């Protein structure tokens, strides 16, 4: 029996395995303004770093639960429900105190995961063009040094959180971390890319070996998509 089959049996049986290897089915539309984005690839597309069953659980239940939680928090809050997600997160101080924590946690998780799925599904390598130049200028002088710095930031996160690369309208890049599901939009910064460092993102395959997961993650990055996000940030059209 393969390792993937054993994981499937432990976490829901053979039926789940079949679902995990196929292109994800459209999720049931939640009741509210926000919806779970469709994955742009099959659950097993990132096997070089993340197994199919983890991808399914992470997308369907963790991200899906955050979308549902955000919609539930926004019920009866028409002004905030109408806001695009990035505007909502940049205006957390205006959100009523009784729902602010739910919006912070679930809205941040929705933004973080939407970005996370988008930038994967590739074969790693290195960026080119304007993004490569910006990385060399702002993040260590070479791609290798940038990668080392990002990995170090990832390993510095205590407990659950994220490591991000943020980008200003002027195109300046920076490496930063956030706890829990906080997103740099909450402090007015746009996100170029980021890695999920919660244990649910890697524990089935790696257990406590976060460094191995962090190292392998680079093998599934889609630099074409990340470069598109950089161009969008420079053009003022990047949302989450």
HSE at residue 101, side-chain half, CA atoms within 13 A, is 1
Architecture of domain 129-235: 3-Layer(bab) Sandwich (3.55)
What is the DSSP annotation of 182-222? Answer: --GGGGT-EEEEEEE-SGGGTHHHHTT-HHHHHHHHGGGB-
Q: How far apart are CA 74 and CA 90, in angstroms?
A: 16
**pTM of full prediction above 0.85:** yes
For 106-142, write each residue's pLDDT tens digit. 999 999 999 999 999 999 999 999 999 999 999 999 9
Domain residue spans in the chain?
3-22+49-118, 129-235
Quick one: CATH architecture of 3-22+49-118? Orthogonal Bundle (1.10)
Grade residue 2 by pLDDT with cuts at 50, 70 and 90: very low
Q: How would you list the strands of the sheet with 173-179, edge to edge?
A: 173-179, 161-167, 190-196
pLDDT of 47 reads: 98
Q: How far apart are CA 5 and CA 18, in angstroms?
A: 10
Render pLDDT for 170-193 as a digit per residue (tens, 0 to 9). 889 999 999 999 999 999 999 999
Give the model confidence (pLDDT) of 25-80 as tens digits: 555 545 899 999 999 999 999 999 999 999 999 999 999 999 999 999 999 999 99
Kindly tell me the burial class for residue 97, based on how many C-beta atoms sit within 10 Å of its own C-beta (0-12, 13-18, 19 or more).
exposed
């Amino acid at each position: 029996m393969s390792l993937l089959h054993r994981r499937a049996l432990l976490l829901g049986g053979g039926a789940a395995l079949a679902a995990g290897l196929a292109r994800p089915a459209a999720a049931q539309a939640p009741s509210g303004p926000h919806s779970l984005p469709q994955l742009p690839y099959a659950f097993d597309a990132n096997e070089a770093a993340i197994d199919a069953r983890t991808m399914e659980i992470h997308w369907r239940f963790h991200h899906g639960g955050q979308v549902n939680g955000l919609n539930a928090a926004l019920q009866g809050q028409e002004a905030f429900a109408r806001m695009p997600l990035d505007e909502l997160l940049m205006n957390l101080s205006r959100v009523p105190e009784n729902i602010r924590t739910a919006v912070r946690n679930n809205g941040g998780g929705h933004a973080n995961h939407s970005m996370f799925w988008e930038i994967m599904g590739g074969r790693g390598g290195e960026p080119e063009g304007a993004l490569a130049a910006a990385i060399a200028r702002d993040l260590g002088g070479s791609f290798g040094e940038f990668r080392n710095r990002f990995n170090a930031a990832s390993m510095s996160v205590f407990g659950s959180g994220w490591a991000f690369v943020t980008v200003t309208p002027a195109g300046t890049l920076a490496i930063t971390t956030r706890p829990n599901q906080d997103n740099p939009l909450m402090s007015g910064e746009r996100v170029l890319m980021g890695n999920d460092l919660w244990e649910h993102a890697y524990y089935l395959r790696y257990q406590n070996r976060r460094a191995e997961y962090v190292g392998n993650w680079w093998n599934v990055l889609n630099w074409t998509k990340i470069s598109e996000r950089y161009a969008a940030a420079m053009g003022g059209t990047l949302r989450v």
